[in-house]
A and B are shown apart, each in its own frame.
Chain A
């Protein structure tokens, strides 16, 4: 292990090594540099393990120097190391807590040659340089260590052990990979001052366009203290649980709009917790104040030290934190302490969908209620408090600092960024949209309290178009042919050969035909998905784009219809074959059901007619899938738009009845098949019902009526004739059938029919 290296003795050797190969040594800082420790981790461990016996040790630079025997083995001065370190920092955005971003006012302790100097991490010189190449803003002159200094009023009984005064255990840090932040304060120290929340919120948004929602408010600042998130969530009125969106948030914004709005935000930074406003009613402000706050906090993060609770920055002593139960009526008191010109902050637009948040709230309520019930009325919250007790008494709690948690969260949040949430996280988006619509619909009906009508503003990263440029060496001729993800190389030269018709056997032809149908279904399905998406795109688009969108949509709908019917020029009416083939495949049937709402009435009627015409065949093919009933709903909807003539002819098609009123054939296999099938019977009943509606609503139309009457009569007769056992069970029975049949049959037969259809 690192600790076992006898560093002292080998200094010279390592120094030589270091001078040869600076680069590597940087990376091996853990082994050779300031991260390397000398036995101290054991002491630190023991210290941790025996907390009760700990004597307070004040922490400051000087003490740190004396206690820590870190040595920069290379013998280099701090400055060089810092420079090298600063070059190592790759990405500003990561804001690795391991990289101190605070500038100190304290003088840097000059490194004594050969001495072990842990102030590498604490020295202001070092820190300034680290940040130098990356950020040009000047840092406020505040010491990270000041944060750690005890400034609080006398502690309560729970703080008998003043953990802040433990010495910092030795920890190795890896600047590149990023280890948890090196703390000047010992591990386990609770944030002393008001915990300004997240680090995440501060750092997340360094650039205007680069929108990322901050973390949902975690600790409301007034709670400070050493409460675990669990406890906090149990606290009543915790702003954690409040809904962050006041009513006046605008509807869905396009990415461009969002970017514009954010780019325009130039408000003063302030270190308020958005959670403090979570429940402020009547909170009016620019709809983007939330994003602004996030943005600012992003900028703030660059200007201010990342350590949360960095009260010292403001130079004002911390105000008395309000008791946890009290909810600040307006922006919290700390806000007033800070920039007075801070504008009204809208609670941040969190990544968490408002509906989701509501659900969580409900769940928490339920849990709390359950616990209450469990413990009895007189024992309210004892469960909670016992849990809190447990946590309070756990001396090892909060070993993982808030900053560290934020750091991990930030990484996870970064992974959730997306340029197109509808593409990346379709189901989540749709699910919560549906929920919202449901609740909105309920609201309209019910008289419940008006829930906040909010829209989710999802984080969107600006899409960057990368043009792939192949690698080139200077001075060489031509380009390297390197195959990569962005530039895939053709591995196999596959040539498509189409065989002539004669060569194929019958089976192959059938197979090919089926494959062609499958391909058509897939293509049409893609069109369908696009068409279904147009509504959403329409809302998000700009005015100028909309006509083009509509055109596209129409065009696609036409293509879909052509695909369904099989457009073959030179034919007056396309043959049914193409459509029937599609309808033989399960996916095709479901697709048709989805397409129908988009078609024009004529087109849809045509589809319906074709279906009716070929129904027995389709029924036979559907025996395994049993998916035809999915078509009933769109067909029923369509029927209510169809004129009487169409309905009559449709009925005729369905029953395959002769056009004239000649005596029916003794057996009608078409009709029988229809009646014996669930879908067929249901469709027939719906058509009959529609006919009945038309008849009752428009008795004046004579010519059609005669025809219709006859058809109805024949239908009724057939229904009577067929034995009940053979009848399928319809999906739904239209209500006006009784009146329909009563026209044509007497009471006895009417009863018979009714029972048959039950």
Chain B
């Protein structure tokens, strides 16, 4: 039932009061009921939960009400309430998932360090991705 109001455009109006998954630019995943929007696609999410995924596990951190500035949204989509529970992923406690996340970050960092070192040894350097973000 999308685009009921406006042809050839996307509007969030039909999404109101439905459960959504929102991916933010900083990588966070929020799940909540979309309560309000505005012309910039700023969002008001209700009963929001921040979901952290590590491997096949995930953990939910309840966050309450979120107001998200539109420009920080990468994508969002409606969650089918009936299919929501039908997932191969395993829910774990918050502590566990945070720990898993920490371990994952650490591994990544170390791998990255090795890579940078290897490149340096060969006389090459790759600028860090975060400094490229603005461009």
Q: Chain A: residues with CB nearer than 8 A to chain B?
A: 180, 215-216, 218, 228-230, 233, 240, 351-353, 356, 360, 363-364, 367, 390-391, 394, 396-400, 404-405, 408-409, 411-413, 416, 425, 428
Contacts known (A400-B37, A408-B39); A351 close to B1, Cβ less than 8 A: no
Contact of A397 among B3, B5, B14, B17 (CB under 8 A): B17
CA distance A230 to B5 in the complex (A): 12
- Complex interface: chain A residues within 8 A of B6 (CB): 351-352, 409, 412-413, 416
- A712 vs B13: C-alpha distance in the bound complex, in angstroms? 69
Q: How far in angstroms is the closest Cβ of chain A from B39?
A: 4
Residues A405 and B16 in contact in the complex (CB < 8 Å), given A215-B5, A425-B8: yes
Other-chain residue from B3, B13, B33 in contact with A409 (beta carbon distance below 8 A): B13
Answer yes or no: B87 CB below 8 A from chain A CBs.
Answer: no
Q: Is the CB of A230 within 8 A of B1?
A: yes
Which residues of B from 58 to 85 have beta carbons under 8 Å from A?
Answer: 81
Rounded to whole angstroms, the CA-CA distance of A352 and B35 in the bound complex is: 26
* B38, CB-defined interface residue at 8 Å: yes
Can you list 24 A-B contacts with CB-CB less than 8 angstroms, sorted by A residue number?
A216-B5, A229-B1, A229-B4, A230-B1, A230-B14, A233-B1, A351-B6, A351-B7, A352-B7, A353-B7, A360-B4, A390-B81, A391-B17, A394-B33, A396-B35, A398-B17, A399-B36, A400-B17, A400-B35, A400-B37, A408-B13, A408-B38, A409-B11, A425-B8
Bound CA span A328–B63, Å = 47
CB neighbours of B18 from chain A (8 A)? 230
- Given A230-B14, A396-B46, A409-B6: A364 and B1 interface contact (C-beta under 8 Å): yes
Please name all residues of chain A whose beta carbon is closer than 8 Å to the beta carbon of B16 when the two chains form the complex.
228, 400, 405
CA distance A218 to B6 in the complex (A): 11
A228 touches B17 (CB 8 A): yes
Knowing A216-B4, A394-B17, A398-B17, the reply to whether A408 touches B37 (Cβ < 8 A) is yes
10 further A-B pairs in the complex, CB-CB below 8 A; given A215-B5, A394-B17, A409-B5: A180-B38, A229-B14, A352-B7, A360-B3, A391-B17, A400-B35, A400-B36, A405-B13, A405-B16, A413-B6
User: Given the complex, which residues of A lie within 8 Å of B90, measured CB to CB?
Assistant: none
Q: Which residues of B contact A405 (CB under 8 A)?
A: 13, 16
Nearest residue, chain B, Cβ from A456: B7
Cross-chain contact A428 with B1 (CB below 8 angstroms):
no
Q: Is the C-beta of B9 less than 8 angstroms from some C-beta in chain A? A: yes
B residues with CB within 8 A of A = 1, 3-9, 11, 13-14, 16-18, 33, 35-39, 46, 81
Interchain CB contact under 8 A, A428 and B11: no
The CA of A394 and the CA of B18, in the complex, are separated in Å by: 10
**CA gap between A379 and B5 in the complex, in Å:** 30
In the bound complex, CA of A413 to CA of B11 (Å): 10
How far in angstroms is the closest Cβ of chain B from A91? 15
Interfacial chain A residues near B17, Cβ < 8 Å: 228, 391, 394, 396-400
Residues of B within 8 A of A364 (CB): 1
Closest chain A residue to B36 by CB distance? A400
Smallest distance from the beta carbon of A44 to chain B beta carbons, Å? 13
Q: How far is the CA of A412 from the CA of B38 in the complex (A)?
A: 10
Report chain A residues within 8 Å CB of B8: 356, 425, 428
- Which of A394, A397, A398, A412 has the most chain B CB atoms closer than 10 A to its own CB? A412
Roughly how many angstroms separate A428 CA and B33 CA in the complex, as a whole number?
Answer: 32
The closest CB in chain B to the CB of A374 belongs to B82
Structural contact, A412 and B11, CB atoms closer than 8 A: yes
* A343: min CB distance to chain B, Å: 26
Residues of chain B lying within 8 A (CB to CB) of residue A391? 17
CA distance A351 to B9 in the complex (A): 11
Q: Which 9 A-B residue pairs are closest in the complex by CB-CB distance?
A: A411-B39, A400-B36, A428-B8, A352-B7, A397-B17, A399-B35, A356-B7, A405-B13, A233-B1
Q: How far is the CA of A303 from the CA of B46 in the complex (A)?
A: 37
CA A351 to CA B36, docked complex, whole Å: 24
CA distance A180 to B35 in the complex (A): 13
Tell me the bound Cα distance from A398 to B16 in angstroms: 8
Residue of B nearest to A367 (CB): B1
**Min C-beta distance of A402 to chain B, whole Å:** 10
Question: What CA separation (Å) do A722 and B124 show in the bound complex?
Answer: 59
Q: Chain A's nearest CB lies how many Å from the CB of B128?
A: 34
**Residue of B whose beta carbon sits closest to that of A397:** B17
Q: Which residues of A lie under 8 Å from residue B4 when comparing CB positions?
A: 216, 229, 233, 240, 360
Closest-CB distance, B40 to chain A (whole angstroms): 10
